[in-house]
């Protein structure tokens, strides 16, 4: 696991290329504290940089950027390929040899043998840049689920890329601020892909690769992997067997490491299953981490204990409180690569992992999106009915005082983004325009014309909710927040539920089997009912949350209305102090204030 950066620029002197890429990497040292390196080709003006977090083959054999034996391929790579041993074994049958035990070298050799077709063979989380000197091409490649970030710019016939947006500021290139990020943050609570806070910097789409011609400075982007929803699996018994097998195989793959590894155990269904399965395959040195609070209303300790008592894992509890929240708040903000209204919990739990010598931790992220753990799965059929109301009536809803009714406005959009904004949106266009002192029509156009991928068009009910939660909430909020918060501590978070083979299995299951109106995630529960304690699944969903509402209402830096110049923001922060606004919305207003 690493941080990567690079520049290809015919107009820049090699020494300047080297120093800029070095500066980019230095700015991301937190995500790769173990080693660093730079590769530069003075003739073609290609420069790659790497900061390394060592998890496989901890020796210098894993140093990056790495070259193949012939020295015609070079790579800088961030991630883990969980099936690298199987691929290495297969490649050896074709006559290839290896100098290390790293998955990085396997990527190089796999590309050498299969070229672009190799990208779809990798199972894991990855983002890498691979230079093929023979073809005069450079590839940027990102994993199927978009777990690892990769940002790039092709401005002025240059290719600049990095794992973090902040690193672009370390170059001599002029990157202007994309002011639309404020609209997205206030509407969605995050900045959605492909957009970033910088005007000419985008996120590479998941399951895609960008091909850059080093000679002509031209590029194309190609999808190498796309998930689709079908209903091939129609037998419930077979579906349960396939889900259990898929999760067990995914966990086994995610347990591969040459460094200490653990599981985030919240006490909910998803992390409990991961812990119980991981214990089955890694009894000798498994670790579990759980967060506790002084506010006992948020305690999940009794549920965590039910799982820990069934395992041989070494368990650690950590108690966090308001004092620690305020003490670390500025460090949490600094860790954010882009403004977000979430991720604070990930920062704290990653801090715990780091302090206990863990370099990799398994997370239950992704299970809710796959198996129907959110209220949106039960609301989609009602939403379809609401959308049939006259657009004029839906637009009038924005005048309602209750935010829940206000968001009906978004259902007037022809774009499916309106459905997501109705389900999860923060503020409506009129309010956003008032907060930003902007034009209402411009705000409305930005949101109504948001470019959504085509995959949602033929989906309905649970699968439609799954698509929205996966491609908007999980992809843009949960994965990004988890990545930069964990990597700020030099900790890798692995997400077995996003194993591509498991996702394909779940996406092929008939909706009526997959989603239950009575019990969220019923299929997942059924697959592990024999080992999952009943009190964990037979209770109201709580979710992994901190007492942020109480903490932020006491924290003057956020809740003092006098710190806000804008009249609308001032009023809303006052309402927050009175308990009439959710903390995440107040956090969004705080980000806008700090950026002004």
User: The domain spanning residue 99 has which CATH number?
Assistant: 3.60.20.10
Given the DSSP bridges, would you call strands 360-362 and 261-264 parallel, antiparallel or unpaired?
parallel
Q: How far apart are CA 491 and CA 24, in angstroms?
A: 20
Helical packing angle, 269-281 and 301-308, nearest 10°: 20
The phi, psi pair for 6, rounded to 5°, reads -175, 160
Last residue of a domain, one of 170, 188, 223: 223
Q: How far apart are CA 491 and CA 309, in angstroms?
A: 26
Q: How far apart are CA 41 and CA 494, in angstroms?
A: 34
Q: Is residue 445 part of a domain?
A: no
**Do 179 and 51 fall within a single domain?**
yes
* Angle at CA of residue 458, ends 453 and 461, nearest 5°: 105
Q: Is residue 161 part of a domain?
A: yes
Q: Is residue 183 part of a domain?
A: yes
Last residue of a domain, one of 171, 195, 223: 223
Beta-sheet strands, E only, within 428-487? none
Q: How far apart are CA 264 and CA 286, in angstroms?
A: 11
Last residue of a domain, one of 497, 517, 541: 541
CA distances from 454 to 291, 458, 503, 585 (A): 39, 9, 18, 29
Sign of CA dihedral 133, 139, 140, 144: negative
Q: Is residue 425 part of a domain?
A: no
Given the DSSP bridges, would you call strands 492-494 and 360-362 parallel, antiparallel or unpaired?
parallel
**Do 257 and 276 fall within a single domain?**
yes
Q: Is residue 401 part of a domain?
A: no
What pLDDT is attached to residue 540? 73
Do 491 and 353 contact (CB within 8 A), yes or no? yes
25: containing domain: 2-223
**Do 301 and 336 fall within a single domain?**
yes
Q: How far apart are CA 506 and CA 494, in angstroms?
A: 19
**Do 217 and 265 fall within a single domain?**
no
Tokens of 198: 């910088």
Q: Is residue 191 part of a domain?
A: yes
Q: Is residue 305 part of a domain?
A: yes
Beta bridge partners of 221: 210
Which helix (H) or strand (E) element contains residue 93? helix 84-93
CA distances from 272 to 244, 525, 546 (A): 14, 11, 19
Helices (H), 165-217: 180-188
**Do 45 and 123 fall within a single domain?**
yes
Which helix (H) or strand (E) element contains residue 549? helix 548-554
**Do 249 and 204 fall within a single domain?**
no
What pLDDT is attached to residue 208? 98
Q: Identify the DSSP state of 475.
A: I
Q: Is 144 helix (H, G, I), strand (E, B) or coil?
A: coil
Kindly report the CATH number assigned to the domain that includes residue 303. 3.40.50.620
**Do 46 and 10 fall within a single domain?**
yes
Do 28 and 167 contact (CB within 8 A), yes or no? yes
Q: What are the tens digits of pLDDT across the range 380-398?
A: 989 999 999 999 999 999 9
Tens of pLDDT, residue by residue, the chain (596 residues): 689 999 999 989 999 999 999 999 999 998 777 878 999 999 999 999 999 776 655 557 778 899 999 999 999 999 999 999 999 999 999 999 999 999 999 999 999 999 999 999 999 999 999 999 999 999 999 999 999 999 999 999 999 999 999 999 999 999 999 999 999 999 999 999 999 999 999 999 999 999 999 999 999 999 999 999 999 999 999 999 999 999 999 999 999 887 888 999 999 999 999 999 999 998 678 999 998 888 766 678 889 999 999 999 999 988 889 999 999 999 999 999 999 999 999 999 999 999 988 989 999 999 999 999 999 999 998 999 999 999 999 999 999 988 889 999 999 999 999 999 999 999 999 999 999 999 999 999 999 999 998 889 899 999 999 999 999 999 999 999 999 999 999 999 999 999 999 999 999 999 999 999 889 999 999 999 999 999 999 987 655 557 899 999 999 999 999 999 999 999 999 999 999 999 999 999 999 999 98
Burial of 562 (0-12, 13-18, 19+ CB in 10 A): exposed
Q: Which residue has the tokens 């620029």?
A: 9
Q: How far apart are CA 406 and CA 430, in angstroms?
A: 10
**Do 219 and 102 fall within a single domain?**
yes
Q: Is residue 382 part of a domain?
A: no
Burial of 178 (0-12, 13-18, 19+ CB in 10 A): middle
**Do 192 and 71 fall within a single domain?**
yes
**Do 553 and 536 fall within a single domain?**
no
**Do 260 and 308 fall within a single domain?**
yes
Q: For the chain, what is the domain count?
A: 3
**Do 177 and 31 fall within a single domain?**
yes
Beta bridge partners of 320: 293
């Amino acid at each position: 696991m690493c941080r990567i950066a690079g520049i290809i620029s015919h107009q820049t002197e090699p020494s300047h290329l080297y120093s800029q890429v070095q500066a980019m990497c230095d700015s991301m040292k937190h995500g790769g504290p173990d080693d660093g390196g730079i590769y530069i080709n003075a003739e073609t003006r290609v420069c790659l940089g790497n900061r390394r977090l060592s998890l496989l083959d901890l020796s210098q054999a894993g140093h990056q950027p790495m070259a193949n034996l012939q020295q015609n391929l070079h790579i800088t790579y961030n991630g883990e390929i969980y099936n690298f041993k199987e691929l290495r074994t297969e490649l050896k049958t074709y006559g290839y040899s290896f100098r290390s035990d790293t998955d990085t070298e396997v990527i190089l050799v796999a590309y050498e043998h299969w070229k672009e077709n190799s990208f779809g063979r990798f199972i894991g989380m990855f983002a890498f840049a691979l230079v093929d000197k023979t073809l005069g091409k450079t590839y940027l490649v990102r994993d199927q689920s978009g777990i690892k970030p990769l940002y790039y710019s092709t401005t002025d016939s240059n290719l600049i890329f990095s794992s973090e947006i902040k690193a672009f500021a370390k170059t001599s290139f002029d990157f202007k601020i994309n002011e639309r990020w404020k609209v997205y943050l206030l509407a969605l609570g995050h900045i959605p892909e492909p957009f970033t806070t910088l005007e000419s910097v985008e996120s590479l789409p998941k399951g895609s690769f960008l091909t850059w011609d080093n000679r002509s400075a031209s590029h194309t982007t190609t999808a190498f992997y796309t998930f689709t929803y079908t209903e091939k699996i129609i037998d419930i018994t077979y579906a349960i067997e396939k889900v259990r097998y898929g999760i067990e195989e995914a966990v086994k793959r995610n347990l591969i490491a040459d460094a200490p590894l653990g599981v985030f155990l919240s006490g909910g269904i998803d992390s409990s299953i991961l812990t119980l399965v991981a214990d089955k395959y890694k009894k000798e040195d498994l670790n579990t981490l759980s967060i506790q609070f002084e506010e006992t209303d948020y305690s999940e300790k009794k549920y965590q204990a039910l799982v820990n008592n069934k395992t041989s894992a070494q368990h650690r509890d950590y108690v966090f409180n308001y004092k620690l929240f305020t003490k670390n708040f500025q460090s949490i903000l600094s860790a954010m690569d882009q403004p977000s209204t979430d991720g604070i919990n990930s920062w704290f739990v990653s801090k715990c992992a780091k302090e206990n010598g863990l370099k990799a931790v398994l997370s239950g992220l992704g299970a809710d999106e796959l198996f129907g753990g959110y209220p949106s799965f039960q609301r989609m059929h009602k939403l379809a009915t609401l959308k049939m109301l006259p657009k004029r009536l839906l637009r009038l809803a924005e005048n309602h005082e209750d935010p829940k009714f206000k968001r009906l406005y978004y259902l007037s959009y022809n774009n499916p983004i309106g459905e997501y904004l109705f389900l999860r949106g923060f503020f409506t266009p009129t309010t956003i325009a008032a907060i930003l002192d902007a034009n209402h029509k411009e705000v409305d156009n930005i949101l109504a014309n948001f470019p959504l991928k085509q995959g949602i068009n033929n989906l309905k009910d649970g699968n439609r909710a799954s698509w929205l939660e996966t491609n908007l909430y999980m992809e843009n909020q949960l994965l990004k927040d988890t990545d930069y918060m964990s990597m700020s501590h030099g900790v890798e978070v692995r997400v077995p539920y996003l194993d591509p083979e498991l996702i394909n299995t779940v996406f092929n299951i008939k909706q009526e089997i997959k989603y239950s109106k009575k019990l969220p995630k019923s299929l997942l529960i059924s697959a592990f009912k024999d080992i999952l304690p009943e009190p964990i699944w037979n209770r109201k969903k709580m979710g992994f949350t901190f007492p942020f509402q109480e903490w932020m209402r006491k924290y003057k830096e956020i809740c003092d209305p006098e710190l806000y110049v804008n009249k609308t923001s001032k009023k809303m922060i006052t309402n927050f102090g009175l308990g009439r606004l959710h903390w995440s919305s107040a956090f969004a207003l705080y980000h806008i204030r700090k950026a002004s």
